[in-house]
Chain A
Amino acid sequence: MKKSAFLVVIALVLGAAAFAQSTSTKDMNALIAAAKAEGQLTVIALPHDWVNYGEMIQKFSDKYGIQVNELNPNGSSAEEIEAIKANKDNKGPQAPDVIDVGLKFGPEAVAAGLLSPYKVQTWNSIPNDVKDKEGYWYGDYYGALAFEVNTDIIKNVPKSWADLLKPEYKGKFALSGDPRISAQAYMTVIAASLANGGSLNNVGPGLQYFAKMNKSGNLVPLIAVTGTLASGETPITIEWDYNALANRDKLAGNPNIAVVVPSSGVVAGIYIQGISAYAPHPNAARLWEEFLYSDEGQLIWLKGYGHPIRFNDLAKRNAVPADLAAKLPPSSAYAKAVFPTLDQQGQLSKAIAEGWDKIVGANIQAK
């Protein structure tokens, strides 16, 4: 009983803030009932320490009594798409209901008919340029790329891209992914490019930058993970700020981690939500989206150091607790953040994938 009352309150508050509502309170109750009847929600590729999804899942499950089935936490965005495709006829637990993928996967998924549209109650407070007009996909959170440094080993923390090329960092830097495969990694190349005279139409300088880094020996051709960061094999890497900050907290001083947004070449990336067109539990999926985009959900993401997509709206209404806001990197760091658009990401990532081997990897061939 308490839960429905609480929801009514939220619905009314949001209704006052937004001009038009997508669903009425009665619909919301009906949705909750239908979702509960389904009893289960299948999510995919949501590590618990990625923007605090652990708490998100727990809170959702506790609130509505719906069991959350978690698939492939280490999965990439592409694997999420492949999972929908592979399980089209399958209503079993291997089929994901909702996905959280990189921006550029939205249109691709729509074209392949993999998503079903839905507009959450707070739809109008989501900025227009990060959602699909018809509601097939919608931005959920963003972050900026930041240096993640093991300060037990690196005493002089690099502050800029130029710093990373210095000889004192020889054999100390590694990417957190393969730029031909991972979004975090190719965005890193884009960021390096922007800091070195490139633009959102030209990633050449980024490739040149890494070629230089490779030649000077500063680049370790390894994918940096928490283990290698801690052991000192790759004491400097670049990750989304929310990941870096979560790592810092988790390692709890063993070793000490510094998270630094570079002074120039700051790239921000957005992830998007979508409901699978073949979802075995469509109502639970919709309820999940409602939860994510409620103030409560958005603040859970904020706790995980991610900027929820409705951040500006929340800030305007003073809905962000002060202590939470204090934990984030200073907003000045984000002032210079660049958000590559869909098309730009598509073209740039392709250029990176094709150029990486030739320009950067050229030295690391078999002898």
Chain B
Amino acid sequence: MSNRKTRHGTGVRKAFSWLWMIIGLVYFFLPLAATFLFSLKGKKGVLSFVAYQHVFADPKFLKTFGFSLEMSILTVIIGLALIVPTAIWIHLKLPKAKPVIEFFTLLPFVIPPIILAFGLIRIYSRPPFAIVSSPLLLVAGYVIIAFPYIYKSVDAGLRAMDLRGLTEAAQSLGAGWLTLLFQVILPNLRTALLSALFLTFAIVIGELTLAVLLAWPAFGPYMALMGRNLAYEPAALAILSFGMTWGAIGLIQAVSRGRPGQGSNLGGTH
């Protein structure tokens, strides 16, 4: 009796899941398809990839993408170096501080990038901290913007592993802090770290306001410039940037799949 119920229940559940999955897929796919179709109209009357050719023929495309890639790597390194130890510290030693730190990591949602940019210029254009012409200032701004995403990923990862237990076990076996960090905690955080990496990558690649106001040749402003007075190339660019971001994240999914207890969910399992 209960077997039948369970089987029926599972059947209904599956149908329900398929329904929403399909609705979701249709909703997400259609706008991309429409953009793609439009990007193929670069030549009148036929479908062609000429818009894509124009994009690739422009040296600025790869140059700006490369620049943003560099910036995203720096952002990830600095962001993780800042947040991972802090998150571990809070989990282990200072749970009281969690709400405060979380507040600061969520605050960037609220600050309009134009205000952050103007503020950074104003503060850092005067000696002794006149770093306004250094790309590191741009990276600092990006790190701030990426805070919510990096923190969420790392936090979820830390919650998924038994941090206290692992720490105590390692310490009782005589491990020092560095060993603990690099050989116990970080390996278990791999998926979380990688998801933080790719969320940050997606953000930095497309970021516009900070790059424009701080005058850096980034990919976001390049896309905006193309979108200004061209018709078909912006659509091609949108598809390309979507695809490249997808490829990068897909890569990490492939690499991290199959790790016990991690699942392939961004942000780690709970």
A–B interface present (Cβ within 8 A): yes
- Report which A residues bind B (CB closer than 8 A): 47, 49, 69, 71-75, 82-83, 86-87, 89-90, 92-94, 225-227, 229-231, 246-247, 250-251, 253-255
Contact B228 A89 (CB under 8 A): no
Listed from nearest, the 4 A-B pairs whose CB atoms lie closest are A90-B125, A230-B231, A92-B133, A254-B44
Given known pairs A86-B118, A253-B44, the reply for A92 and B231 (CB within 8 Å) is no
Which residue, of B43, B44, B126, B234, has the highest number of chain A Cβ atoms within 10 A?
B44
20 examples of A-B residue contacts, CB within 8 angstroms: A71-B215, A73-B225, A82-B118, A83-B213, A86-B118, A87-B121, A90-B121, A92-B125, A92-B133, A94-B213, A94-B215, A226-B228, A227-B232, A227-B234, A227-B235, A230-B41, A230-B231, A251-B231, A254-B42, A254-B44
Cα–Cα distance between A334 and B58 once the two chains are bound (Å): 38
Residue B161 interfacial (CB < 8 Å)? no
Cα–Cα distance between A89 and B235 once the two chains are bound (Å): 39
Q: Which residues of B contact A227 (CB under 8 A)?
A: 38, 227, 230-232, 234-235
Contact A93 B229 (CB under 8 A): no
Query: In chain B, what residue has the closest Cβ to A83?
Result: B213
Query: In chain A, what residue has the closest Cβ to B215?
Result: A94
- Shortest beta-carbon distance from B80 to chain A in Å: 28
Query: In chain B, what residue has the closest Cβ to A252?
Result: B44
Cα–Cα distance between A92 and B131 once the two chains are bound (Å): 10
Q: Which residues of A contact B130 (CB under 8 A)?
A: 90
State the total of A-B contacts with C-beta under 8 angstroms: 76
Cα–Cα distance between A238 and B42 once the two chains are bound (Å): 23
- Shortest beta-carbon distance from A177 to chain B in Å: 12
The 8 A CB mask of B41-52 against A (1 = contact, 0 = none) is: 111100000000
Contact A93 B227 (CB under 8 A): no
- Report which B residues bind A (CB closer than 8 A): 38, 41-44, 118, 121-122, 125-126, 130, 132-133, 212-215, 221, 224-225, 227-232, 234-235
Cα–Cα distance between A75 and B118 once the two chains are bound (Å): 15
- Shortest beta-carbon distance from A362 to chain B in Å: 28
Q: Which residues of A contact B118 (CB under 8 A)?
A: 82, 86
Which of these, A74, A230, A251, contacts B225 with CB under 8 Å?
Answer: A74
Cα–Cα distance between A337 and B133 once the two chains are bound (Å): 45
Given known pairs A93-B215, A94-B214, the reply for A73 and B228 (CB within 8 Å) is yes
Q: Which residues of A contact B42 (CB under 8 A)?
A: 254
Q: Which residues of A contact B214 (CB under 8 A)?
A: 94
Cα–Cα distance between A250 and B42 once the two chains are bound (Å): 12
Q: Which residues of B contact A225 (CB under 8 A)?
A: 227-229
Which of these, A90, A94, A231, contacts B231 with CB under 8 Å?
Answer: A231
Q: Which residues of B contact A72 (CB under 8 A)?
A: 212-213, 215, 221
- Shortest beta-carbon distance from A67 to chain B in Å: 14
Q: Which residues of B contact A253 (CB under 8 A)?
A: 44
Which of these, A82, A226, A229, A254, contacts B43 with CB under 8 Å?
Answer: A254
Cα–Cα distance between A69 and B133 once the two chains are bound (Å): 13
- Shortest beta-carbon distance from A131 to chain B in Å: 29
Q: What 5 new A-B contacts, CB under 8 Å, besides A49-B229, A87-B125, A93-B133?
A: A71-B212, A90-B132, A92-B133, A226-B230, A229-B231
Cα–Cα distance between A253 and B42 once the two chains are bound (Å): 11
Query: In chain B, what residue has the closest Cβ to A253?
Result: B44
Query: In chain B, what residue has the closest Cβ to A44?
Result: B215
Contact B126 A226 (CB under 8 A): no
- Shortest beta-carbon distance from A159 to chain B in Å: 25
Query: In chain A, what residue has the closest Cβ to B224?
Result: A74
Cα–Cα distance between A93 and B230 once the two chains are bound (Å): 27
Q: Which residues of A contact B221 (CB under 8 A)?
A: 72
- Shortest beta-carbon distance from A54 to chain B in Å: 11
Contact A226 B231 (CB under 8 A): yes
Which of these, B43, B132, B212, B227, contacts A92 with CB under 8 Å?
Answer: B132
- Shortest beta-carbon distance from B200 to chain A in Å: 24
Q: Which residues of A contact B41 (CB under 8 A)?
A: 230, 254
Cα–Cα distance between A89 and B38 once the two chains are bound (Å): 46
Query: In chain B, what residue has the closest Cβ to A229?
Result: B231
Cα–Cα distance between A186 and B122 once the two chains are bound (Å): 32
Q: Which residues of A contact B213 (CB under 8 A)?
A: 72, 83, 86, 94
Cα–Cα distance between A364 and B3 once the two chains are bound (Å): 56
Cα–Cα distance between A350 and B133 once the two chains are bound (Å): 37
Given known pairs A90-B125, A231-B38, A255-B44, the reply for A226 and B229 (CB within 8 Å) is yes
Q: Which residues of A contact B234 (CB under 8 A)?
A: 227
Cα–Cα distance between A49 and B126 once the two chains are bound (Å): 35
Contact B232 A230 (CB under 8 A): yes
Cα–Cα distance between A69 and B42 once the two chains are bound (Å): 31
Q: Which residues of B contact A92 (CB under 8 A)?
A: 125, 132-133
Which residue, of A71, A83, A89, A253, has the highest number of chain B Cβ atoms within 10 A?
A89
